[in-house]
Structure formats: structure tokens, C-alpha cells
A and B are shown apart, each in its own frame.
Chain A
Amino acid sequence: MIKLKLIILFLLLGFSLNSFSQDRVITGTVMSNNQPLPGASILESDTSNGTVTDFDGKFQLRLVSSSSKSIIASYLGYIQKEVSLLGNVDAFEIVLEEDLSKLDEVIVVGYGTKKKVNLIGAVSVINEKSVKGKPVTNAYQALQGESPGLQIQQGTSEPGTLPQINIRGISTINGNTPLIVVDGIVSSLNNVNPNNIKSISVLKDAASASIYGSRAANGVVLVTTKNGVEGKPKFVYNGSFGIQEPTNFPKFVEPWVYATLRNEALVNSGLAPAFSPEDILAYKEQGYHGNFYEGLFKDYGKQSSHNLSMSGADNGLNYFLSLGYLNQESLFKGPDYGYKRYNMRINLDKKINDKLKAGGRMSFVRNDIKNHAWFTEWLIEPTMRIPTIYDDVDENGDYTLVSGSNGNSLARLEKGGERNSQNDEFLWNVSLEYEPLNNLFIKGVFGGNIVSNKTHEFRKAIEYAYPGGGDNQNQVADQYGRSLYLNPYLTANYNIEPLENHNLSFMIGGSSESFRTDFFGVTGLDVAGNDFGVIDNTSEILQSGTYGSGNEWAIKSVFYRIGYTYADKYLLEGNVRYDGSSRFGSDYRWGTFPSISLGWVLSKEKFFETISEVVSFAKIRASWGQLGNQDINDLYGYQSLVNTSSSVYSFGGVGVSGAYYSVSNQSRTWETSTMKNLGIDLAFFKNKLNITAEVFDNLTEDILLQLPVPATYGLGQPFQNAGSVRNRGWELSVDYKMSTGKVNHSFSLNASDNVNEIVDLKDKEFINGGDVQTILREGFPINSYYALRSDGFFQSEEEIANSATPIFATSVKPGDIKYVDKNGDGDIDYEGDRFIVGNPFPRYTFGFTYRLDWKGFDFSMLIQGVGKRSQWVRGEITEAFHNSNEGPVFPRHIDRWTPVNTDATYPRLTVGAESVNNAARSDFYIQDAKYVRLKNIQVGYTFPTSIASKVGFDNARIYLSGLNLITLSPMNNGLDPEVFGGGAAASGRVYPVSKVLSVGLDINL
């Protein structure tokens, strides 16, 4: 594959060299404010031949037409300048003037674009620069820390896994993922090639998002992919090669320390010690010989990417073609596990005539994920529990079976077969825009995607040299799923200016979404010979692993927008959207979601002129609006259904089918989010310093909840419109650009906070989870941790006698955790004594970017973090001898309570039933998981045109880039502080987060 890429590159190179044919060469410098202007474009008039200036503002252009009379220099935010060539002069110094009116970026908004000055909603923009050069494996990672209010969390770097994304917190219990729209079509970021991204708009309030009504309650992320710029075809190659290492590993104690502490725990629990002093001495001599957990991982994994694109525009045709390849090796040992992604994209736009434009986008992505055939969680769990006195492989090279496992995780990785997934995603949209009257644009778009996922798993039997191995049966599973999503829509936009300075705009549109997925799978057992694992070779089909079905949903919408601006000073906009969803019964199906927003550009007022030297721009915006949400997994639950399934029981050796009622609620309907936003945009010193601040208040009502119902009802919990949740917060972003001599600096800081509160839950409470329990309770954040509160350790029998102890623990001794008796009844029990103790959702998220460039060198740095977060960590990753296991013991357990170490940080060591008191669900295990992280650092060098052009390049840059290089956090258990959620994550049974160090090369020609 890599070879092929190089061949293509060289072919392109040759092609490019051949195109030099004319003799006249124009050189020059583009300047502004006495500073060279790098990146300005130079175009030979009436041709598509052009170039861009280098970091010194210099350019060199070989003319293709002898009849050319001029060249045109342009740069975004500057007034374009045409320079005559008639004077037979071949060297120019071109000075561009800043265009203050044009300095406003054009921002992509719902179903259109808008000048930033005219924007009234809360929209953050992330541009190409923020994505560039980061050694990320998906586009989400590239966005982390780049936008206030956009929370991205990735608790593992396991190849093929995706982060969680939220905008302005959690507004509902259902579907908290923002709507992601790529080039106008509802899609996902999962497979977008980060290299293809031109800009991303994050729509956060009702004013900006309401046009997406039904799907926008969690915010909207609009992704625009690249297109061509006027001129000759431009070829770009980006390649990078990097090394991944885990950010963090749990540390284990040495064998002799383990044995000593094990004895102590046994004795503390009234049991006989397991190790004699001689054993311990022997362990001491033996020293440390690794642990099972680290034994699963390689020292490093490679990661590489190659991207190639061609783009340009001429004769009204704008094109962008791109190929991409990503290869991320897994850190797991075993036969070449990892993730490969192949991206292909074609973007085309054609102006057919003055009234008609057509466009198309097509993207094809293949994901190849090769993984072990097991579950990562259950591979890691036993390795964490096994004490360091054992080895995963013995002196004969045989996998061992020790302590609490009937399998060996390393053997499962290396010999246990594999699971191969091939996931294809095909996205497209075709659009036609017609302008029948001046300023009336009618646009029809037909877009959608087809996703198919195929997984083939062959879990091999493993023969262990030791007795008791449980991996004796091999199994083959094939799974296939395919979905079709269609999203056609039609809009009409009309702008008029009936009176001078009075601008009116109208938009009306309709859209439809439909989704259908079909899936099936089959599992077979016992392939003779433990090889050639295909279903054909299995000797038995497993009924419970054989399935097939499908489901579908659909939404229809009509929407209107009306906008009014007066002299770009007073801005007013209103939206209404009317949505119908298949998830609701016909009487409850349709919802109307209006919004209104106002803006005032103060800096356009006369009174502002006096301070305009300092404050170059000022705008105040306010919006109010409502959005709907219907994103519940239960697609058909408004009607009562009878499902049948096979082999629910058997009679005389024959399986029989059964029938089950589903739980339903006919009257369920839309969740409604009412969002209020107040924002201010300020620019100072000729736009060098930009500040945007927002405050918001979002109230989601009628949340579809599976309210607890009594078990005596007997049919489970239907979704009911039953709760409301409020999110309030603020966002701030500050950008500053400056130059010191030839060095350009830019600083940008973003920070945000969001307070989540359940306002109404019909006076009910939900407690969820097993070992990690969360609660939904009015007045507190969604999914707050609910646990006993610890209060140090008991120091004496007397103290125990005078204190409340858990009713569920028969033995409490000095050194055990003491709990707060909340209700003062003299007993500790979960019912009466649990407190709300924090929650896992991040607060005070921030990102800080610093960029510098000097004479072709560039440097950038992104520091990102979370100022407040709790993570409950349970199980073997945190408890010594968790759940009566032999291990583990970590260094932090050494400071355990003993009669001579009463000022300890960990309770007395115990095993089995003696541990009941200390293993209680309490805040003792809730960790402070705030962190600050050097997310990305890049150092690059762009070769001068004079050098680059000698090998035929317009531009070439090499760089070093690092991801997740340094992390600081009070969380000290060996887990990455970004680990979030319950289940596997809360137990530390996850593949670690990686840091990546890579070198890259960008070539333009």
C-alpha cells in the first residue's frame, strides 16, 4: 500500500514537472503593514495558473500564457489587487490592504452560510489549522480542547474505539450525542478523514441549531470538507509515522512485598498466613519479574498515515479528490492486531450557468479492525488480579494457569484466534441549486449513507500444559449488518432589500429522514482441527448466537426562517420547525419548535467611533428557542408488542419457542429543550484580540424516562415523558495575535463550565448500577454518584463501639473505614446513609493553544484539561485482594493501616468476608479525576520555495508532533484520568490511553 502511494506521488511529480513550458517568470513579494504576507495567492489572470507566497511573502510564477496582461494577488481578509504585467517588469512588491469589511469570516450555519458579523447564535468555529498535524486516529480526537462547550472524552485508545462527544453537557437521559452534519447531510464524525476537514461549526444554542429541530437538542456539529481553490490543480501529500505508548500503567508491588502483605491480610482476617519467612526471602532474592497486566502489551505500537489529494477550480468546476490511509497497530501482543482505515472522497461543484449550480459529495470509507477474539474487559480483569509472585509463561515457555483464572489472557491474545471487522461507509449527496429570480435560491439535496459492518470471529481452542484450562471449545461467529439512511431536503432562500439598509431574508424548507437497518449473525461450535474457522466447518450451530432482524425509523420536517437586519447593526431572526417522528403514536407524533434571536452590533453605532481605535468590534446577542428530542432506543414502544424467541424452554430434550409482551406507553411524545443564550463578541486593536463570551440556560422538559415502576407491575418500565433537566453555564474564548519582529505569535484560550441539575423527576428517584451506583434525583446532576461517605479509619475498639457500623458487616475492627451515619440511626446501611458524592461529568473544561512561526519554523502547543471531575473506580484496580482474590497489591496499599501506622491512607488489609466493611460502596473509592494534559505539541519547518521548487514542490513542510505527551492528575491508580463511565472503565479493565510521537511530511505541488 505504502509503495503504491509513493508511485502515485512520483507520477504526480513527473506530471507536474512536465507542465513547465513557458519562459516568462514573475517573482515578487507580497506585503501588508510592512510585514511579508505568507500564504497569499497569486493568479495569472484569465488562466488557472497560480501559486502562493512562502513564509517570507515571496513568490515565483511561471506564466503559461504569453498574452497574460496581469497577475492578481489575493488573501482572505485583504482587498484583492491586480498588477499589470505590461511594463516588462518581472519583479514586484505588492502591498495588500486589509479589508475591514471582508475580515468577517463566512461561517457555515444550518442550511446555509452566514457572515460572522451577522451571526446571532452561539457558534464556535474550528478551522483546518486546529486539526492539522495531530497524530489522531479519528476526527473527534482532533477537536478535543479546541472549542468551549464541546466536550470530548476518550478513556481508551483501543484501535477502532471512538470517544464520547457532548455539547454543553447532558440535557437528557437519552441520546446525548450532538447531531453531526457533514456537508449538509446528517452523518457522523466516525469515519471523516481529519485531513479532509476544512472547517467545523459547533452550533450550541437554539438560535443556531433550531433549524435542525428534531435532532438538535444536543447541539449540532457541522463539518465542511475541503474544496478546490481557483487555479491549476494542486496536489497535496501528507504523511506521518509515529510510535504509540500507553500514557499510564498500574504499578504492582514486588513479589516479596506482596507475600508479606498477603500474610498480613490473612492474619487480619483470622486465617493462617500463606507464606513462610523462607518463601518471602526467596521472593526477595528472586526480585521483580513483571506482572500479567503489562505482559499483555508491547512496548510500543506503530502508527502511520498517508493522504493524497488533488484539488482546484476552473471553468466553473470546483473539485477536490482525496485518498487517505491510516494504520494504527494495537499495543496488544499477538498477531498484528490493529486498525486500518481507507478513505476516499470526491467533492465536485459545477456552475452550469448563471442560474444553475450542481454539486456532489461522495465519500467511501473502509475500516479494517483486527482484534483478539475475546473481550478486552475480561482479558484484563484476571491479569490485574494475579499477584506478581506468578509468571504468565513458565520456564518451558508454557502459558500458566494461576490464581483465579481457567485461562491465560496472554495465551488468548497470542493463540486464541482473532476477530476481524470490515466496516464500510458510503456517504453521498447530490445537490442542485437554482436561482429563478434574483436572490431567490432553490436548493434540492439528496443525500444519505450506506453503512455495512461485517465481523468474522474465530475464537480458537487453547490447549494448556496445565490442568483446568477452560478454553477447550473453539467457536466461529459471523455477523453482518447493513443500514441505509436517506436524507433528502429542499430549501428556498430569498433575500431582498426593499429599502436601503433594510435587509430581509426568508427561508422555507422541508426534509425527510429515514433509516433502516438489517442484521443477522450465526455462531457455530467445534471446528475440527482448530483451524480453518468458518461456519461451514463447525459441527454445531449455536441457536442463541444465531439471529437476524431489522428495524427502521423516520422523521419528516418542515421549517421556516425569517431574518431581518438593519444596516448590519440590528439583527433579528426567527425560526419555526415542525417535526414528526415514527417513534411516537399518530396522536403524539408532531411537535412545533420555534426560536427567536436578536443581535446588536454596537460598534456600528456613531457613539462607538470614539473608542473604535481600541475596540474594533462589539456585538451583543440574545436568543430563545425550543428544540425537540426523540432519540430513544425503543423504536416501537408506543404500541404493545408480542415478541417470540426460540428455545426459551425445552420439553424432553427439544427446545420450544416462547412469547413475551413488551412494555409500552401510547402517549409518549417529544422531549422539549428550551434554550436561552446571551453572548457578546468583542474585538480589540484592529481585531488582534478577540473575545467571545456566552452564558446559557437550557431546560429540557418531558424527558423520556423509564421511570421506575413497582416490580409488582411485572412488565418492566415503559418510557414516559417524566422529567426535566437544566444545564446552565458559560463559555469564554479569547484569541490574540501579535508579532515580535519576524516572529508571529497567536494565543487562544477557551474555557467553559456547565452545571447540570435535574429539576423535576415526578418526585421519584432512580438508583442505577451495581458496584458503582448513580442516582437521578431532583436538585442534583444527572447520574450523580450515590455512596456512603467515609470518615477516616477506626482507631480503636472503643471508637467502633461508640460508632455506627454497617449492618451488613459482621466484623469491623480498628483500621477499617468509618462511615458517616447520615440519618443518625446508629447503623450504617445503604438505604439511609448514602450521600450524593460528585459525578463523572467534566466541569471547567479548557484548552489553550499557542502558535508561533518564524522564518519557516512553526510551533504549536495545545494544553487541554478538566478542572473538576470525579471518577468512581472499583474492583481489583483499587482494592487490595478484591473480592477474595489472591491479589492484587499496588504500591499505594503499602501505606495501609496497622496498629503502628494509624495515620494511613489505606485501611487495614483483609480478605473475604472480613473485607465487607471496607469494600462497601463509599466515596473512599471515588477519585478526583481532574487533569491537565499537554494534548498536542508540534514543531515544523517549511522549506523555502527556492529549495522546494528545485524538486518541483510548491511547498514542503516536515514536522514532529506529539499527542497526550504529559498528563498531570491527582488520580493515582495507574488509569488515565480520562477513563469515564461505569462497567469496564470504572473497574480499570480498559486498554490504556496512548501517547503518540510522530514525524510528518506535507508536500504541495
Chain B
Amino acid sequence: MKKIIIAILLITTGFGCSNLDLAPLDARSELTFWKTDEDANIFLNSMYADIWNADAYLYFNALSDDAYTRREDYRNIGNGNYDASNGVVTGAWSSRYEGIRRANIFMNNIDNVEDISESNRESYKAQARFIRALHYFYLVELYGDVPLVIDEISIDESLQLVRTDKSIVTDFIYTELATAINNLPETDEPGRITKDAGIAFKSKVHLYNEDYQSTVNLAGELIGEYSLFPDYEGLFQPQNENNDEIILSLQYIPIDREHNNQYSLIPPSQSGYANFSPLQELVDSYLTIDGKEITDASSGYDENNPYVNRDPRLEATILYNGHSWTDFDGSQITIDTSPGAEPNGYNYSSNTTQTGYYVAKYFDINARNQTNSGLDLILIRYAEVLLNYAEAKNELGSFTEQDWDMTIKLIRERAGLIGSALDFPGGGQASLRTIIRNERRVELAFEAGHRFFDIRRWRLSETVNSGWLHGFKTDESLEDDGYIRVDFRTFDPAKDYLWPIPQSERDLNKNLTQNPNW
């Protein structure tokens, strides 16, 4: 009996031919990574993808008075109907910290790589520092004080984190960017974070923190080093990617890495679904072609023929009723957004515009299946540097005609404004501030959430993002002079200038305090 049992056990052991130490067929162990330049390089590549995703790049603009979206999480932030469980509020937090983790992993391991040149090592590190600093920049802008994590922390450590004062995080950003700028590559490789990108970004961070002299100094280093692309409309077209105005763009390519923002922008007749509709408030902010506000009695603005004689950027940015358009097959058509008009009219169907406007900017006529595009999304361009410079100079009270000529005038000229629009308006700091801010709004419309962040730092949200925001004039209702009511915005300045810390984070970590009044 015993013999038999032993025999069975032996055979059983023989049966156990299946090995229990199985390694994956498609992944390496962490222990064998970080050996070569290529390891470091591909790890760095994945960090670039964290900078912004195309979806947020577009929809953050709908949190401002520039656009309206039906997407609930965004819409509800825009109109003040949100809480600490809102998907965009939690998503922005977690995606930034994921990016920070990747950067921390990179910084902890890059020095262990043996098969790499020192110059590459330093260049990679500088790029990683830039990306990590960018994550923290957006975090402090959105949430104020946030945990400053610069190491590969354990789960237990993550459960104990406390919020770091915004000023300390900002100092960290400055230090990191300063270090990065010293080692960032000076290269023409499109998409690469360069030394100039570091300088431009740092100047923006100073601007946001009202350290205007630093903004001026840094932006000044770039003035004259770049040029504005001659055609504003063409600036956002695929054939002109990586032109001389671009300092840093989020890179996409057809098929293998594409975004489908176009689906939300173009009219249904072009296969679009209007999920992102420009508001009348933005349309009204475009000056006349000679630089007058439309409310100016002398502007010649005709409410019944509102799109003529306007800043040409209006036509390049917004697809309004009667806009002529090149169809995918190259034919010229006219977009009719008037109420009930088939197939693109307001209220014609649930995929038509909610405001009477579609978006012309970013149109990629070669988009795969009409909506999948490989178009790069610009993160930093020279015009922004000029606008940062102009704004900072004006805040310092030293904005001169010479400054005007080297900033706003160039931008307006390129845009196609004429006559008095190009002349230095003078009129003192306050009126120049209005002009510079409006210039920034129309020049950078729908790019990287600029307007959303700008009205927050200007403390304008409760003024401009409050009450009914409108679509075009249909006269279907007598209210608001016949402009359709689109979205009722509320903004509580005591609360909404900071997003709430996500509830899910505070549920796990009791050390995380909440922002005021949330």
C-alpha cells in the first residue's frame, strides 16, 4: 500500500510538469529595464503623451464664455453645477498625478542607465523635469495647494500625503524649469521640448503668478527668434505643422496616433456632431476689420449682417450662418445654421449646433473618415509669447508704442486687420489691458483652455461667465434681444476659483483638506 502511494506521489510529481514560474511573453521585468539609452528614450516618449490629451485640450475651452458643450461633466463645471465627484475634476487630478509618477520613476532611474551618453542623459532629464513642472503648474492652477510628490511613493505614503502650499509648489516649478532650461535640447526636431519651450513656458508661469518682470525678461529672450506664420487660418492646418511660429505642439499623426476632435466641431452635413459650439459672447469679441469694438457706434457693425467687415480670425475660427466652406470633396458649399434648416440648422436635429455656430479652426480636410485627424495641437506658439510679453509689460505700466509694434501690431497684421487696428491705441493701462486681453482671447481661441485659465487669473469669471450665455440671433424669443439662450452660468467667486479636491481622494486620505466653501 505504502509503495503504491509513494509511486503515485512520484508520478504525480512527474505530472507536475507544468511550471508555476511563468514569465509574461510580452513584458520585461522592472529589474531588467533601465539599461540602455533606448529604455530611457521610450520611457520618456510615454511621458510626452501625458502633457495634455486632445479631448481635454479642446473641452477645457467650453468651461469658459467661449463655448458650450453638451458633455455633462464639462457643461456642469461651466455652469457651476458640479461637485467634488465631477469626472473632469477627478480626471484632471488623476491623469496629472499619473504623469507625475511616470516622471518620478524616470528621474529615479535615469542615473542607473549605463549605456547612454551624458548629454542625452541630461537632455532627457531636462525634458522630464519640464513635463513634471507642467503637471504641477496645471494642478496648482486648478486646485491651489496640492501634494508635492517628487519620488516613487508607496501606497501607504500616498495615503498620508498632505497638501503643499501653492507657493512652495510654484517655487519647485521655477527651480525645475530653470534647471531644465540649462539642459533642454536646442534642436529642430518637431515636437521635442526645447530650451525655448522651457523659456516660453516659464515666462507663462511667471505671468500667471503676476511676476511680470520675469515674464518680460524671459519672453524677451525669444522675441525676434521666431516669426508669426503669415496665414492665421493656415496656422492650424496639417500642411503647416511645425512652422516657424510653433514652439511646442502636441504631436499627432494620421492613423497611428490621431484624435477625433473634429467630430465635435464640424456640422452634421460634414459628419460632425456638434458637441462643442462657440458662444455669441466670443463672436462678439471679434473686432471689426479696422479694430473697432462692435459696440462702438462708429464701427459700422450691423446686427443683421454681423459677420462682414470683421477681424478675419472670426471667419477662420468660427463657422457661422452663411459661412462658405470647402467640402471634403473640394466643392464649395454654404453652411446654413438658421433655425430648422436641413441639415445643419439650429434645432434641426440633435446633432446640430446648440448655438448657431460650428468651429472652423482645426479643420482637417484629409481627416480619416472625416473626423479622425493627425493634426498637431499647438501648446506654445510665438504669438502667445508676444501676448504674454505685452500683458506683463502693461501690468508693469510700461507698455509703449514700441512694445505695441513688436507684439499686438504684428499679431493683428498677420491676422489681416487693417487701418487703425494696427495703430497704437494709447489710452492708459486700464484700456490697454482690455485691448490686450481681448486680443489674447480671439488669437488663442479654443487652444489649450487658455480662456478658461485666463478669466480665472484675471478674476473675471463671475463677471463674464455668469447668467445666460447666448447663441446667435434668431428672434424666436424676445428675451435678450432675440439672441438664443444657451446656458445659464453661475460662478461663486468665494468658491469656484479653485476646483474641489476630488472626493475619492479625500475618502482615502483624511489628511487632504478641502478648498474653501466646497
Contacts and interface: CB of A to CB of B under 8 A. Distances in A.
Interface of A: 270-272, 274, 385, 401-406, 436, 440, 442, 444, 466-470, 472-473, 486, 488-490, 492, 494, 508-514, 525, 540, 542-544, 549-556, 558, 580-582, 586, 589, 635-636, 639-644, 646-662, 708-715, 718, 764-765, 767, 770, 806-811, 829-831, 883-886, 912-913, 916
Residue from B100, B191, B252, B270 whose CB has the most chain A CB atoms within 10 Å? B191
Interface stretch (B6-14, B54-62, B111-119, B355-363): B6-14
A670 to B, nearest CB: 13
Given A467-B270, A552-B25, 15 more contacts: A468-B271, A469-B271, A470-B369, A490-B11, A509-B8, A510-B9, A549-B26, A551-B25, A649-B49, A711-B93, A711-B98, A713-B155, A808-B83, A810-B79, A912-B354
B434 interface: no
A831 B30 contact: no
B49 A708 contact: no
Contacts of A554: 18-20, 22
A406 B273 contact: yes
Interface stretch (B40-48, B403-411, B421-429): B40-48
Nearest to A646: B256
Contact of B343 (A401, A492, A513): A401
Contact of A512 (B17, B21, B42, B147): B17
B316 interface: no
B94 interface: yes
A655 to B, nearest CB: 5
Contacts of A512: 15-18
Nearest to B347: A274
B102 A556 contact: no
A710 B70 CA distance: 30
A270 B485 contact: yes
B430 interface: no
A658 B46 contact: yes
Contact of A652 (B242, B370, B476): B242
Contacts of B503: 831
B257 A642 contact: no
A902 to B, nearest CB: 26
Contact of A710 (B39, B159, B191): B159
A765 B46 contact: no
Contact of B83 (A551, A656, A718, A829): A829
B369 A654 contact: no
Given A406-B268, A711-B93, A651 B18 contact: no
Contacts of B436: none
Contacts of A513: 18
Interface stretch (B166-174, B208-216, B504-512): B504-512
A581 B20 contact: yes
B42 A710 contact: no
**How many B residues are at the interface, by size bracket?**
35 or more
Contacts of A544: 255-256
Contacts of A581: 20
Contacts of A657: 42, 45
Contacts of B104: 714
Contacts of A510: 8-9, 11-13, 15-16
B20 A649 contact: no
Contact of A658 (B13, B42, B98, B350): B42
Q: Which 3 A-B pairs have the closest CB atoms?
A: A714-B101, A510-B12, A658-B46
Residue from A525, A553, A554, A662 whose CB has the most chain B CB atoms within 10 Å? A554
Nearest to B11: A490
A511 to B, nearest CB: 7
Residue from A549, A555, A642, A649 whose CB has the most chain B CB atoms within 10 Å? A649
A428 B97 CA distance: 51
Contacts of B217: none
Residue from A272, A580, A648 whose CB has the most chain B CB atoms within 10 Å? A648
Contact of A808 (B17, B76, B255): B76
Given A272-B477, A473-B368, A712-B505, A643 B269 contact: no
Residue from A469, A488, A549, A642 whose CB has the most chain B CB atoms within 10 Å? A642
Contact of A712 (B149, B273, B490): B149
A582 B350 contact: no
18 contacts: A492-B8, A508-B9, A525-B255, A552-B25, A642-B29, A647-B257, A650-B257, A651-B190, A662-B27, A712-B153, A712-B158, A712-B509, A713-B153, A714-B104, A714-B158, A764-B508, A770-B87, A810-B488
B85 interface: yes
B42 A644 contact: yes
A831 to B, nearest CB: 5
B1 to A, nearest CB: 8
A713 B4 contact: no
B191 A650 contact: yes
A490 B20 contact: no
A912 B272 CA distance: 19
Given A556-B18, A650-B253, A885 B29 contact: no
B342 to A, nearest CB: 9
Contacts of A807: 81, 83
A582 B21 contact: yes
A578 to B, nearest CB: 11
Contact of B4 (A492, A764, A809): A492
Contacts of A468: 267-272, 343
A388 B85 CA distance: 36
Contacts of A811: 488
A916 B477 CA distance: 23
Interface of B: 1, 4-5, 8-9, 11-13, 15-31, 33, 39, 42-43, 45-46, 48-49, 70, 72, 75-76, 79-85, 87, 90, 93-94, 97-102, 104-105, 147, 149, 153-155, 158-159, 161, 189-192, 241-242, 251-253, 255-257, 267-273, 340, 343, 347, 349-351, 354, 368-371, 476-477, 485, 487-488, 490, 502-505, 507-509
A658 B155 CA distance: 25
A831 B84 contact: yes
Residue from B80, B241, B271, B485 whose CB has the most chain A CB atoms within 10 Å? B271
A472 B370 contact: yes
A554 B19 CA distance: 7
Contacts of B25: 549-552
A542 B507 CA distance: 42
Residue from B80, B253, B350 whose CB has the most chain A CB atoms within 10 Å? B350
A830 B83 contact: yes
Nearest to B485: A270
A928 to B, nearest CB: 27
A760 B171 CA distance: 43
B94 A649 contact: no
Contacts of A661: 30, 102, 105
A553 B18 CA distance: 9
Contacts of A658: 42-43, 45-46, 49
Nearest to A827: B83
A714 B18 contact: no
A549 B26 CA distance: 6
A563 to B, nearest CB: 16
Given A659-B43, A913-B487, A580 B20 contact: yes
Nearest to B90: A711
A442 B257 CA distance: 60
Residue from A486, A512, A553, A886 whose CB has the most chain B CB atoms within 10 Å? A512
B461 to A, nearest CB: 16
Contacts of B17: 512
B15 A489 contact: yes
Contact of A542 (B15, B101, B253, B255): B255
A650 B18 CA distance: 42
Contacts of A653: 190, 241, 251, 253
A770 B71 CA distance: 13
Contacts of B90: 711
Given A648-B46, A659-B42, A403 B490 contact: no
B302 to A, nearest CB: 24
Contacts of A884: 70, 350, 354
